[in-house]
Structure 1
Amino acid sequence: MNKTSKKIEKVVFSIIALIIAFLAIFPLIWMALASFKTKKEIFAVPLKIFPEKFTLDNFAVIFGDKSVSFVRSLCVTFIVAVIAVFLSLLINMMAGYVFARMNFHFKKFLWVYCIISMYIPGMTIQLTSFLVVHRLGMLDTLAVLILPGVVSGYNIFFFRQFFLNMPLSLEEAAMIDGAGRLRIFFNIFVPLTKGPMVVLGAGTFIGYWNSFIWPSMTITQPRYMQIMQIIRSMRSVYSTNFGAVMAGTSIAVIPPIILFFIFQKQIVEGVVLSGIK
């Protein structure tokens, strides 16, 4: 293939990539601009991308609603997601380490159970989970939002496969120096697992941030309501303030976007590394 053909191929690939990127980003752009429009402008035909006059009325609606606090909901959702990420990484990483490096009774049985759990849709066990947390008296608490989704078969599998590719010499050298299992795990394995931690941590954060069905089943008190519940409450059977919905959703997507830009390099490296492993 000559240089001209390579240049043409590169240009065509770049154009296709730009078109795909535009199609992916355009709904977010339109949503953000719609939050500054009136209801009439949102449903205008033909479609208007930019509002005739930027208005903050929609933001005044979501921040001025005294029945529910949008800011408090943002804070509670963020706290729940951060705690869930910490617990999820700690528990699943330790479980992955145990499956990769230690031998114990029923190891194969538990590993098969872990693999099977990856193929069970979460929706199919939500009713059972609800009955469990109801009997434990966990409804309308932060614990019911955090604990049920902390353990993940996929995350355990991911960490186990990563740890299996680490040389045994690292462990053996540490054991010769008198290090125990916990010290080896926290001082050697955890620092080498930053890539997978960022990838799985980001996925866990977004999963908790976007959670709607489970909080709707277990939370009724306004002080614990998640951000998606608040946005959904802006809709009713007879009418919907689409401008306020767009404004609330535009604010809700900001934290995940910031998270991606902060850890963009680590996320890409983690995905590439997991593919190599």
Structure 2
Amino acid sequence: MRTERGLGENVRTALVYAVLIVIAVAMLIPFLWMLGTAFKSSSQVNAIPIIWLPWPLHFGNIVSAWTSVPFGRFFVNTFVVAIASTIGQIITSVLAGYAFARMRFRGKQVLFLLTLATLMIPFQVILIPTFLIIKHLGLVNTLWALILPNLATGFGVFLLRQFFLQIPTEMEEAATIDGAGRWRIMAQIMVPLARPAVATLSVFTFLWAWNSYLWPLIVLNSPTKMTIQVGLSYFQGAHVGEYNVIMAGSFLSLIPIVILFLITQRQLVAGIVAGAVKG
């Protein structure tokens, strides 16, 4: 019986791994095609069968993509928006998350439920009201129009609140006995202990800001203000049919994201798991 059970478990495990491998390969194929096409010549792009590993590598596609449009300006604009959004969201999420986790005040549960409700509303629903607010503030066609809506989200507040709930209250009580106030406790005890959650929020916020397309497309109309995703659309229109150059531009836009993921993947997983333990 034990042998049969062990054999059955091995078969199930093998099937699970097989399914996961198939899914992983299916997700990687478009990325691998993009990567290969970025270094192909024009004749290799339309070759049948598909050439997955082009040789020789045509690095001129990268140079052409970088120089044909102001890619450098697109990168700078996107970095400014992503970094400012990340810093702002960390500050607001830490403050609100700590308040919901530790402080007592009237209407706390109602406010927290309203915060969670924002996670269920697609951005497209509030797109027009948000645009009207930005317009009345005179921020259309500025990077502030991209930064301000990203300064606070329900996801960030929820993630930090869940993490703060796991920290023993005895540590705060001991600090209070030593004469520490709320701000000192939060800055010197709670925030350092919440580094995994802060790192996770930082990565997600940076990714959201970097990959944002619809909102920048609506509020920006000057090429000097474009972010990388809108710039790629503009770039694609200038290189219709040149798929190798278009894929080279897409490859350039992915480099910072891949580097960020490789550096922070451990903190990313740890923060997600830790933040979901206690409700």
TM-score after normalising by structure 1: 0.90
Aligned-residue offset at 1:52: 4.8
Distance 1:237 1:262 in 2: 34
1:110 is matched with which residue?
111
Q: Alpha carbons of 1:238 and 1:205: their partners in 2 closer, same or farther (altered >3 Å)?
A: closer
1:41 aligns with one of 44, 47, 64: 44
Distance 1:225 1:79 in 2: 12
Aligned length: 275
Deviation string, structure 1 residues 196-231 (Cα, Å, up to 9, x no partner): 112221111111100111111111222221001111
Deviation string, structure 1 residues 12-50 (Cα, Å, up to 9, x no partner): 554444333332223212211101113442233322212
Distance 2:241 2:107 in 1: 54
Letter in 1 for 2:26: L
Aligned-residue offset at 1:160: 1.4
Residue 167 (str. 1) matches residue 168 (str. 2): yes
Aligned-residue offset at 1:69: 1.2
2:143 is matched with which residue?
142
Letter in 1 for 2:246: V
Contact 1:216–1:229 (8 Å) recurs in 2: yes
Percent of paired sites with the same residue = 33
2:156 is matched with which residue?
155
Q: Which runs of 5+ in 1 are unaligned?
A: none
Aligned-residue offset at 1:11: 5.1
Contact 1:234–1:240 (8 Å) recurs in 2: no
Counting only pairs closer than 5 Å after superposition, residues 78-227 of structure 1 correspond to structure 2 as: 78-227=79-228
Aligned-residue offset at 1:79: 2.3
Deviation string, structure 1 residues 213-268 (Cα, Å, up to 9, x no partner): 11111112222210011111123399343222201111111111111111122112
Letter in 1 for 2:92: I
Q: Alpha carbons of 1:102 and 1:76: their partners in 2 closer, same or farther (altered >3 Å)?
A: same
Residue 51 (str. 1) matches residue 67 (str. 2): no
Q: Alpha carbons of 1:251 and 1:178: their partners in 2 closer, same or farther (altered >3 Å)?
A: same
Q: Which moved more, 1:15-24 or 1:98-107?
A: 15-24
Distance 1:172 1:140 in 2: 49
Residue 32 (str. 1) matches residue 35 (str. 2): yes
Q: Which moved more, 1:35-44 or 1:89-98?
A: 35-44
Q: Alpha carbons of 1:16 and 1:115: their partners in 2 closer, same or farther (altered >3 Å)?
A: closer
RMSD of aligned alpha carbons: 2.2
Distance 1:181 1:139 in 2: 39
Q: Which moved more, 1:105-114 or 1:244-253?
A: 105-114
Aligned-residue offset at 1:94: 0.9
Letter in 2 for 1:63: W
- SS of the equivalent of 2:215 reads helix
Deviation string, structure 1 residues 95-127 (Cα, Å, up to 9, x no partner): 011111112233233222212111110111111
- SS of the equivalent of 1:235 reads helix
TM-score after normalising by structure 2: 0.89
Distance 2:32 2:269 in 1: 24
Distance 2:92 2:139 in 1: 21
Q: Which moved more, 1:45-54 or 1:14-23?
A: 14-23
Distance 1:151 1:238 in 2: 37
Aligned-residue offset at 1:75: 2.3
Contact 2:239–2:246 (8 Å) recurs in 1: no
